[in-house]
Amino acid sequence: MMTPQQYEESLRKLNLEVYMFGKRVQNVVDDPIIRPSMNAVAKTYEMAQRPEYEDIMTVKSHVTGKRINRFTHIHQNVDDLVKKSKMGRLMGRATGCCFQRCVGMDALNALSIVTFDIDKAKGADYYKRFIKYLTYVQENDLVCDGAMTDPKGNRGLAPHQQADPDLFLHVVEERKDGIVVRGAKAHQTGAVNSHEIIVMPTIAMRAEDKDYAVSFALPADTKGIIYIMGRQSCDTRKLEEGLLDRGNAVFGGHEALVVFDNVFVPWERVFMYKEYEFAGSLVENFASYHRQSYACKVGVGDVLIGAAQTAAEYNGAEKASHVKDKIIEMNHLNETLYCGCISCASEGHREPSGTYVVDKLLANVHKQNVTRFPYEISRLAQDIAGGLMVTMPAEDDFKAPATGKWLEKYYAGNCDVPTLNRMRILRLIENLTLGTAAVGYLTESMHGAGSPQAQRIMIARLANLGEKKKAAKTLAGIDE
């Protein structure tokens, strides 16, 4: 396994084509806007090295028998699934943000199921290719970006019906040694911190869309792959000298639009090629794993609850009954989220490939809760924090002699607490609920791993209404 330092050095060796604010980013690793997101991924390497976390962060590879980072593991039993959920909470709590590495793990696990199924149905050799690729990822302890979401254009039209055929990533050329693809993947979390990109189709497909039914993996700096960084609320605070106004000065996340401009993929890296009837299964398996992965929001919720309680204490309001009740409600919501990610793991089952997958109904219910509860937890945190979290002056004003004395005097709360500490905790709440980290904690909770309606469709499909009606009719004495 790599150390965080080795991970950072490995990123420096990549030659990524990254753009931000209209310019090419020459040094991605040290860019002050991007750096905190790299720190968050590096934390997944650091935690794996520490004895007090290794039981969750590491596991024995079923392929090589070597100890590997769990983010590169294929789940071999229910305990693996449960520990994945726990790892999400652990990492979310340690970083207070999206640590970006779960999406690659989910892509690997989904592919381990679907490549096996395609081979079984069609006599292909995708699974063998996949295992070779997986071994490479595990042996080198790589970060993989799981790239599923196409731009999608007109949502009412299938991929082949779009005015611009590139709105869904598709095959444009077949060669003897591989294929050429064109298109884009949107909202790619952690893309420029990744060594590899694993591409998957974004929706279930029919025969007409077979050119879009493609899955493959490429090194992140393959020729023709272009990254355009997304903005985040308050992102340019990272360019300021001080640290206080950032709220979370060390960690963060990022998203990018990843363009594939006629990119060549060698056959040994192709895991699905026009098997359109398996696109839906790949999407469904990946989505279910990734909906479980929102266990990370429980960890971030832990941080926000801790911040709200601290703010209450710094304000001298922690004994007020309504504040206590709000903290209870925040915990109730957060632990309800935890129940969801643990239960879908505990009810997981074995697929023919040997990979264990979560209970899909419970994973979708969990993610549906995630689209709501962090918003309510954030509302309560802002309620407890008070308006100062959005009206307080800049760190520079605290440092300036002309203004610092007034801010020290008038922004003091509990006299046992330094005023600056009160500002620090309020800035963290701001960061989590409407700053850079709110991208991950709120909007990503809403739309990441599928928007709320996607889960409702799955819940409708999986809820087994027939059995529920039967139970009701039996008790009601209805004999039909």
Partner 1 sequence: MSKSGFKTSPCTQYLCPAKILILEIFHIFLRLKFSLSAILGAIEGFITTFKGNRQLVVGLKYCGGCNPNYDRVALVAYLRQRLAGQIVFVRYDQPEAEMILAVEGCPTACADLASFEHLPVFIIKRPSEAEEFIMYVENRLNEQSAE
Looking at beta carbons only, is 272 or 305 nearer to partner 1? 305
Please pick, among 102, 234, 341, 344, the residue that the annotation labels catalytic.
102
26 C-beta neighbours (distance < 10 Å), count = 8
Considering only residues 34-63, where is the footprint of partner 1 by CB under 8 A? Answer: 51-57
Query: Of 262, 241, 243, 261, which is closest to residue 252 (Cα–Cα)?
Result: 243
Q: One symbol per residue from 290 to 309: x for binding partner 1 (CB under 8 A), - otherwise; what is it?
A: ------------x-------
Q: For residue 433, how far is the Cα from the chain centroid?
A: 17
- Active site includes 296? yes
Looking at beta carbons only, is 19 or 53 nearer to partner 1? 53
Q: Which of helix, strand or coil describes residue 372?
A: coil
Q: What are phi and psi of 117, to 5 degrees?
A: -65, -40
Q: Distance (Å, rounded) from C-alpha 252 to C-alpha 98?
A: 7
What ranges in 245-400 are assigned the alpha helix state H? Answer: 279-292, 296-315, 321-346, 360-370, 373-385, 388-391, 395-399
- Active site includes 415? no
- Active site includes 290? yes
Please pick, among 44, 95, 115, 189, the residue that the annotation labels catalytic.
189
- Active site includes 17? no
Site membership for partner 1, residue 129 (CB under 8 A): no
Considering only residues 324-383, where is the footprint of partner 1 by CB under 8 A? Answer: 338
Please pick, among 284, 313, 395, 444, the residue that the annotation labels catalytic.
444
Q: Which of helix, strand or coil describes residue 198?
A: strand
- Active site includes 64? no
Q: How far apart are the first and last CA of the chain?
A: 62
**Spatial contact of 388 and 426, defined as CB atoms under 8 Å apart:** yes
Contacts for 321-329: CB closer than 8 Å, 24+ residues apart? 323/384, 326/380, 326/383, 326/384, 327/380, 327/384, 329/376, 329/380
Looking at beta carbons only, is 341 or 365 nearer to partner 1? 341
Q: One symbol per residue from 65 to 94: x for binding partner 1 (CB under 8 A), - otherwise; what is it?
A: --------------x--xx--xx-xx--x-
Q: One symbol per residue from 428 to 457: x for binding partner 1 (CB under 8 A), - otherwise; what is it?
A: ------------------------------
Residues that bind partner 1 in the complex, under the rule CB under 8 A: 51-57, 79, 82-83, 86-87, 89-90, 93, 302, 338
- Which positions are annotated as active-site residues? 98, 102, 189, 255, 290, 294, 296, 444
